[in-house]
Structure 1
Amino acid sequence: MSGMDFEEIELPAPPMADLPEGVTFDQASIDALFGDASDLMPQKSGLRAVIESRVVNHARLPMLEVVCERMVRSFATSMRNLTSDAIEVSLDEIASVRFGDFMNHVPLPSMLAVFRVPAWQDYGLVTVEASLIYAVVDALLGGRRGAAPRKIEGRGFTTIETTLVSKMIELILREFSTAFEPISPVTMELERIETSPRFAAIAGPSNVASAATFGVDMDGRGGKFTILLPFATLEPVRGKLTQRFMGEKLGGNSTWLNHMRSEILQTEIEISTVLGERQMRLADIQSLAPGQTIAFDVAPDDPLEVRCGGVTLARAQIGRQRNQIAIGIVSTIGKEMPR
């Protein structure tokens, strides 16, 4: 073998199985022979499994659904005035998704409008599908009703298309702001329009966001748009969005509050005035006898503590009024009193 080149060695042909003609292996057969490839992947555990989990646990936001329903009615009227066509708007779904998963599933080409909410000091996102973009452009430029707009593949959106669709996006933000007025008066401002999800990242990939998808039908043509609000953006109004109905107040209504206040003010409590305190050994206490005097380091004019339930309320001086022992408050009752 010393003088033989390895390239000159002829290897025998691999043995072929005698299979009937027309028989092929599918993926299930391959997995049965060699095992499932997913079993070889390392299983995620610990914090990584929690972060990269596809299951999104979230609290329901009932008031956000009410806001979106108000948005459907008002936006349909505004779109009819903009396009002079019969517009039907519907709320398809409201879902909680991770921002990274949502951006990975945005159908391209699409327009991604980044808007800012100054009152909340954060950002949101509006995505508009290509079918709705071409339908709006066709309607605003006087296209025939009932005819589906022609979609041109392999090119980006022109300046005219972006300008026309931006009018619809500004209309979406204005109506969505109006729908939010009963919850919290806000103003949503369009900041920029992007066509690549890479340049529209307003949150981390693992951040949870609420996505409301709306459908727009314009005489057989139209599409969908989605309003995405990260939970970090909704944090200032999360408490109001978790209410079950409009105007719900946490802690009860004013009638019960006034009744509870009046009853508490009529409640009788027992207060005590501490004349003095002294630490003694248990043996000394056991040796006390009737008539024995205990001395305290308190002068007659020193203020005494007024307590209730072991809590110091105020300081007072002891005296006599109408043949009865009385105390006079010398300091106001406040939280700064030592306990």
Structure 2
Amino acid sequence: MSQENEEDPQQDEQEEVDQDALMAEWEQMLQEDDEDGEEAGDGEEAGGSTRVLDQDEIDSLLGLDSGDDDGSEQSGIQAVINSALVSYERLPMLEVVFDRLVRMMSTSLRNFTSDNVEVSLDSITSTRFGDYLNSIPLPAMLTVFKAEEWDNYGLITIDSTLIYSIVDVLLGGRRGTAAMRIEGRPYTTIERTLISRMVHVVLGDLSAAFDPLSPVTFSFDRLETNPRFATIARHANASVVARLRVDMEDRGGRMEVLFPYATLEPIREMLLQMFMGEKFGRDSIWESHLTAELWQTEISLQAVLDESWSTLGDVLNWEEGTFLPLNVTPESKVSLRCGDVKMFAGPMGRKNGHIAVQVQNKAAREGDVT
């Protein structure tokens, strides 16, 4: 028993020494790992291989600089993405049409709401149709309308603020109080009916705004609350969006009118005009002068009774008294020509001792459609 008691303290001391040695070894390994990490970090900073871009450089690369808001040219990836879009500025007459729409809507909406309504044009921009659908703030009402003469569609978007303002005004809401906005429920039948009536008024003004360029009838097609069901063009197609602001004293909202470029294609030549009635590449004064001079021009006509073809050898062998047969009869018509161009045809006769030709009709020419 005494030997066992003497061996136990020695065993405990040996275990303590082993634990101390193991801890010292771990500490040394940790220090070596930290030193290796610092050396690797210094090497990477020296080489510049892990340089991190700051926010300004990222915005410049993506073309999202704050300086682009003033209408300057876009750069970076944004410029590459939008390079295929056609700018509305290439259709200058479109801005005149929307200016007419603003003036007409101010009057018609005043009569519709019996309130003081001011309509203003915020901007006209070009965008892809898919990007526009994704940017619509919900809830909203989207009206699909059809251009009957152009056989294509357009879109009118009304935001929730304008919807509740119109409903509040038409149902006798008190002035001086902002329109109540109720979230989390679909639009009621009364709200949809009132907005559809307002859309009919807007479509009538839009048709009248295009009348000086091209008579067109915009007819109401359907009213949607989900942008997916208002798809009237491919997502990659270019579109023109006009953003309108409707103010009714202390109430109001926004309305957006979208035209895909395919819808405006039938009147593209008219929208390219710089002013109403412009004629491209034509001078009406010069045309009138040239027409008057052409009518006074004197030309010589040749009356051809018949033609026969002969070889040069046969012509050289002609002698006095050679007979040339003509395949004509007294009723055959004579061809009147100006140079090699056939002009008229008619019967031949005599008048006042002279051979005359009565013009009856224009001669048929090659390429004429009968």
TM-score, length-scaled by structure 1: 0.71
Give the letter for the 1:188 counterpart. Answer: F
Aligned equivalents of 2:82, 2:121: Cα separation in 1: 29
2:209 corresponding residue in structure 1? 179
In structure 2, do the counterparts of structure 1 residues 316 and 140 end up closer, same or farther at CA, with 3 Å as the change threshold? closer
**What is the RMSD of the two structures over their aligned residues, measured on CA atoms?**
4.2
Question: Which residue number in structure 2 is paired with residue 9 of structure 1?
Answer: none
Instruction: Report the equivalent of 2:236.
Output: 206
Contact kept? 2:88, 2:125, Cα under 8 Å? no
Matches within 5 A, 1:1-339: 16=37, 28=53, 54-56=84-86, 60-248=90-278, 260-281=290-311, 287=316, 293=322, 295-299=324-328, 301=330, 302-329=332-359, 331-333=360-362, 335=364
Partners in 2 of 1:206 and 1:288 — Cα distance? 78
- How many residues matched? 308
Tell me which moved more, 175-184 or 141-150. 141-150
SS in 2 for 1:28: coil
Per the alignment, do residues 267 and 112 of structure 1 end up closer, same or farther by CA in structure 2, a change over 3 Å counting? same
Q: Which runs of 5+ in 2 are unaligned?
A: 1-32, 43-49, 62-79
Residue 299 of structure 2 aligns with an amino acid whose one-letter code is I
CA positional deviation for 1:282:
5.0
- Is the Cα–Cα contact under 8 Å of residues 342 and 364 in structure 2 kept in the other structure? no
Q: Which residue identity does 2:275 align to in structure 1?
A: F
**Alpha-carbon distance in 1 for matches of 2:150, 2:347:** 54
Mapped to 1, the partners of 2:363 and 2:348 lie a distance apart of: 20
Contact in 2 for aligned 1:314/1:337 (Cα 8 Å) = no
Does the 8 Å contact 2:335/2:363 carry over to 1? no
Counterpart amino acid of residue 134 in structure 1:
Y
Deviations 1:212-256 (Å, cap 9, x if unpaired)? Answer: 211122334422211122333334444443333334567565x77
Higher helix share: 2
Aligned twin of 1:3: none
**The residue matched to 2:107 in structure 1 has which SS?**
helix
Residue 93 of structure 1 deviates from its aligned partner by 1.9
**How many Å separate the matches in 2 of 1:153 and 1:323?**
101
Partner Cα separation in structure 1 for residue 128 and residue 307 of structure 2: 63
Opposite residue 201 of structure 1, the aligned amino acid is T
Corresponding residue number in structure 1 for 2:28: none
**Superposed displacement of residue 143, structure 1:** 4.0
Give the Å deviation of 1:263.
Answer: 3.3
Normalised by the length of structure 2, the TM-score is 0.66
Contact 1:207 1:230 in 2 (8 A): yes
SS at match of 1:213: strand
CA–CA separation in structure 2 for the residues paired with 1:167 and 1:188: 14
Residues 4-47 of structure 1, C-alpha deviation per residue, up to 9 Å, x if partnerless? xxxxxxxxx99855769xxxx88528xx9xxx9xxxxxxxxxxx
Instruction: State which structure, 1 or 2, has the greater radius of gyration over its C-alpha atoms.
Output: 2
Segments of 5+ residues of structure 1 without an aligned counterpart are 1-12, 37-49
1:208 aligned partner, one-letter code = A
CA distance in 2, matches of 1:261, 1:159: 64
Q: Is the CA contact 1:51–1:206 (under 8 Å) kept in the aligned structure 2? A: no
Q: For residue 280 of structure 1, report the CA deviation from its aligned partner.
A: 4.1
Shift of 1:58: 6.5
AA partner of residue 172 (structure 1): V
How high is the sequence identity, in percent, across the aligned residues? 44
The superposition leaves residues 57-96 of structure 1 with CA deviations (integer Å, 9 ceiling, x where unpaired) of: 6673333322211221221223233334432211112233
Contact 1:177 1:187 in 2 (8 A): yes
Structure 1 CA distance, aligned partners of 2:259 and 2:339?
50
| CA deviation after TM superposition for structure 1 residue 323, in Å | 4.6
Say whether the 8 Å CA contact 2:85–2:238 is kept in structure 1. no
Structure 1 residues 271 and 298: CA distance shift in structure 2, 3 A: same
Is the Cα contact below 8 Å between 2:126 and 2:239 reproduced in 1? yes
